[in-house]
C-alpha cells in the first residue's frame, strides 16, 4: 500500500459528530470507504516481510558468537562448554521448557563464555554461568519459571545459593549489554514458514522436527561456525529430505530464494548435519530415556568455596534433600562437592 493511501484508510476510522445521511446513500458511502485494495495490501505485506528479513540478517551479524574460532585456538575450553550445554539441555527437558529457551540459554552462555575469563582450576564457574543463563532464558521465554534452587536438577555437581545465581545473572546481563533477544536459527525457520504461507498442521510438525534437530546438534561447537540463517536453512532442508525426499529439490529452491542465503555455505552446513545428526540424536534419545525425574528437595549438604582473585565469585551453597532422592541422583552422577 502506498504511503499516500494511509490517510484515506485512517479517515475511515473517524466520523464527525454531526453527520447527516440520506437513507438511500448510507450503503453507497459505506462501501466507498471500505473498498478493499488487495493488490496494495499484498504489496505492503511483501514490503514488511522484506524489512523483517533485512532486520534478521542484520541482527544475526551483531550477535554472532566466535565460539568456533575460540575453541579451535584453545581446545581445552571445549570440555567445560560441552558439559554446560549438556546440562542446559537436560534441565530444559526436565522442566519441559521450549526449544527456544534452550537455544537462548546456549546463546547467552557462548557469548558470555568468550568474554569472561574462566579459570581451569575453578570448574564451578562454568556451571554457575550455565545455571544463570538458563534462568535468564526461562525468564525471557517461559510463562512459569522454577525457583533458582529448584532449577538445579539433573546430575548437578554443584548447588548454588539463590543469591549467588542472582549475582551471576547480573554479571551475564551486564557482560552481554542486556542484549537478550538475539536472532536464532528458529527465528529464520519461523519467518520462512510464514513467508511461504505454511502454517497448517503439517507445518507445525515440520517446526517440531526442526526444533528437535537443533537440540540434537547444538552441543557441537562446530555449528557455531555458521550464521543462524545458514544453519536454519540447512536444518529445514535436512528435515524435508527426511520427510518428503521427492519434494526436496522444489523446497530447496524455494527456501534459498526466500532467504537469499549463500548456497555453498548451506551445503557445507548440511553435510555437517548429516555427519553429526546420527550421533547427537542418539545421545539425545539416551538422555531422554535414562533421565530420572528428580526433586530439588533431597537430603544433601553441599558446601564449597574457592579462594579467588575474583572475590565477588566465591561461591558457597547448601541445600537439603531426601535420602531417597539423593540415592537416585547420585547414580551415574559425579559426587557433589563437600566442604
DSSP 240-286: HHHH-GGGHHHHHHHHHHHHT--HHHHHHHHHHHHHHHHHHHHHHHH
Domain limits, the chain = 62-181, 183-288
Torsions phi, psi of 294, nearest 5?
-125, 150
Q: Note whether 62-181 and 183-288 share their fold.
A: yes
User: What is residue 71's predicted lDDT score, i.e. its pLDDT?
Assistant: 67
- Say whether pLDDT at 97 is over 80: yes
Q: Using an 8 Å Cβ cutoff, are 127 and 164 in contact?
A: no
Residues 269, 157: Cα–Cα separation, whole Å: 34
Provide CATH code, domain 62-181. 1.10.472.10
Maximum alpha-carbon separation in the chain: 90
Cell 543463563 maps to which residue?
133
Q: Using an 8 Å Cβ cutoff, are 269 and 234 in contact?
A: yes
User: What is residue 48's predicted lDDT score, i.e. its pLDDT?
Assistant: 65
- Does the domain at residues 183-288 carry the CATH identifier 1.25.40.340? no
Q: Which tens digit of pLDDT belongs to each residue from 104-142?
A: 999 999 989 877 766 666 778 889 999 999 999 999 999
Average pLDDT taken over every residue of the chain? 73
More confident call, 34 vs 278:
278
- Say whether pLDDT at 41 is over 50: no
Nearest residue to 314 (alpha-carbon basis) of 323, 304, 322: 304
What mean pLDDT comes out for the span 173-191? 93
User: What is residue 205's predicted lDDT score, i.e. its pLDDT?
Assistant: 85
Q: b/e per residue, 95-127, with b = 16+ CB within 10 A?
A: bebebbbbbbbbbbbbbbbbebebeeebbbbbb
Banded model confidence at residue 200, pLDDT cuts 50, 70, 90 = low
Residues 241, 203: Cα–Cα separation, whole Å: 15
What mean pLDDT comes out for the span 171-175? 94
Radius of gyration of the chain measured on its C-alpha atoms = 25
User: What is residue 333's predicted lDDT score, i.e. its pLDDT?
Assistant: 41
Banded model confidence at residue 164, pLDDT cuts 50, 70, 90 = very high
What sign for the dihedral angle of Cα 217, 242, 199, 94?
negative
More confident call, 137 vs 58:
137
User: What is residue 64's predicted lDDT score, i.e. its pLDDT?
Assistant: 67
Amino acid at each position: 500500500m502506498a504511503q499516500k493511501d494511509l490517510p484515506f484508510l485512517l479517515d475511515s476510522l473517524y466520523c464527525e459528530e454531526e453527520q447527516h445521511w440520506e437513507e438511500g446513500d448510507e450503503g453507497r458511502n459505506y462501501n466507498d470507504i471500505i473498498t478493499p485494495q488487495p493488490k496494495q495490501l499484498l504489496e505492503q505485506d511483501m514490503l514488511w516481510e522484506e524489512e523483517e528479513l533485512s532486520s534478521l540478517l542484520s541482527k544475526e551479524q551483531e550477535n554472532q558468537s566466535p565460539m568456533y574460532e575460540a575453541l579451535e585456538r584453545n581446545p581445552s575450553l571445549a570440555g567445560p562448554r560441552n558439559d554446560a550445554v549438556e546440562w542446559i539441555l537436560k534441565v530444559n527437558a526436565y522442566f519441559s521448557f521450549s526449544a527456544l529457551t534452550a537455544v537462548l540459554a546456549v546463546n547467552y552462555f557462548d557469548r558470555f563464555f568468550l568474554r569472561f575469563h574462566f579459570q581451569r582450576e575453578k570448574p564451578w564457574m562454568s556451571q554457575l554461568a550455565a545455571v544463570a543463563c538458563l534462568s535468564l532464558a526461562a525468564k525471557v521465554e517461559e510463562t512459569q519459571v522454577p525457583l533458582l534452587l529448584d532449577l538445579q536438577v539433573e546430575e548437578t555437581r554443584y548447588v548454588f545459593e539463590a543469591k549467588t545465581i542472582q549475582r551471576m545473572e547480573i554479571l551475564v546481563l551486564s557482560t552481554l549489554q542486556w542484549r537478550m533477544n538475539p536472532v536464532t536459527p528458529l527465528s529464520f525457520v519461523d519467518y520462512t514458514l510464514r513467508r511461504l504461507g505454511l502454517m497448517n498442521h503439517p507445518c507445525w510438525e515440520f517446526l517440531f522436527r526442526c526444533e528437535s534437530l537443533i537440540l540434537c546438534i547444538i552441543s557441537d561447537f562446530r555449528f557455531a561456525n555458521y550464521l543462524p540463517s545458514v544453519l536454519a536453512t540447512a536444518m529445514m532442508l535436512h528435515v524435508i529430505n527426511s520427510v518428503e525426499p521427492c519434494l526436496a529439490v522444489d523446497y530447496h529452491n524455494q527456501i534459498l530464494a526466500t532467504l537469499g542465503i549463500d548456497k555453498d555455505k548451506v551445503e557445507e552446513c548440511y553435510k555437517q548435519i548429516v555427519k553429526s545428526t546420527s550421533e547427537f540424536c542418539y545421545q539425545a534419545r539416551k538422555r531422554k530415556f535414562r533421565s530420572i525425574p528428580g526433586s530439588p528437595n533431597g537430603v544433601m549438604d553441599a558446601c564449597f568455596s574457592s579462594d579467588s582473585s575474583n572475590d565477588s565469585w566465591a561461591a558457597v551453597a547448601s541445600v537439603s534433600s531426601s535420602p531417597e532422592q539423593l540415592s537416585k541422583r547420585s547414580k551415574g552422577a559425579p559426587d557433589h562437592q563437600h566442604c
